[in-house]
Amino acid sequence: MFTGIIEEIGHVIAVDHPDARDVVLTIDAPTITTDTRHGASIAVNGVCLTVVTHGHGTFTADVMPQTLRLTTLGTLTPGTPVNLERAVAATGRLDGHIVQGHVDGVATLTTRTPGPRWDELSFDLPAHLHRYVAPQGSIALAGVSLTVTHVTDTGFGIALIPSTLAATTLGTLQPGDRVNVEVDVLAKYVERMLTLREHTEGDPR
C-alpha cells in the first residue's frame, strides 16, 4: 500500500523486451534504493511494481502485458522522469490517502491554467470511472495523492500547490499528456457492497 506522497523523481535508464508482450524497466533512483530489497514494492507513476534487482542506485522491475494495456508504462522511454514511492511502513503516517498502486485507467490533461503560486488542471476521464470521482474527494494521478476540485460531464479538475509542482512530474505535464489514474478504493468497495446487497435483496430464496 502507498500514500501518494512522492519520495523521488527517478529516470528510466532502459526499457528491455524479453519477448513481444512484456517489459523490464531499469530505473535510476539513488534515494529510495538506499532502503530497498528484492521483492519490495515501489510505485512507478502510480503503478505498484516488484523490485527484481537493485544496486548502484538503480532497480529493475518486470511489467506484465495487462499492466502495459491499462497504464502509461508502455510509453516510457530511456530518460523519461517517473514518480517513485516505496510502500508505506505499518508504523508510518498516512499523509496522503490509501493508494494501492492498482491503476484503474488513464486520464488526459485538457487544460492547464497557471496561477501566481499553483496551477489548475482539468482532465478527461474514461466514462466508466466517472462515478467514482466526487468534489473534494481523493484521486491519485501518476501516483500523486490529490484532491478533486470540481467534476464535469467528461472529467474532473485538480489544483497543484508549489511543493507538488516541484516534487513530482505533474509540474511539467502539458495538455494532451496522459497519466495513470487510481480512483478512491473506498468508493469502489462501497459500490461493490451496494451491488451485492441489491442482488441479495432481490433473491427469492
- Domains observed in the chain: 8-86 (2.40.30.20), 105-191 (2.40.30.20)
Please tell me the distance from the alpha carbon of residue 176 to that of residue 110, in angstroms, as a whole number.
6
Q: How far is CA 177 from CA 75, 140, 172, 190, in A?
A: 11, 16, 10, 31
| Nearest-angstrom CA–CA distance, 194 and 112 | 36
Q: How far apart are CA 197 and CA 14, in angstroms?
A: 48
Q: Which three cell numbers, joined as nine digits, stand for 120?
A: 489548475
pTM of the model: 0.91
pLDDT tens digit at each of 205 positions of the chain: 999 999 999 999 999 999 888 999 999 999 999 999 999 999 999 999 999 999 999 999 999 999 999 999 999 999 999 999 999 988 888 888 999 999 999 999 999 999 999 999 999 999 999 999 999 999 999 999 999 999 999 999 999 999 999 999 999 999 999 999 999 988 888 888 888 877 776 555 5
Strand partners, 11: 28, 81
- CA atoms of 6 and 134, how far apart (whole Å): 23
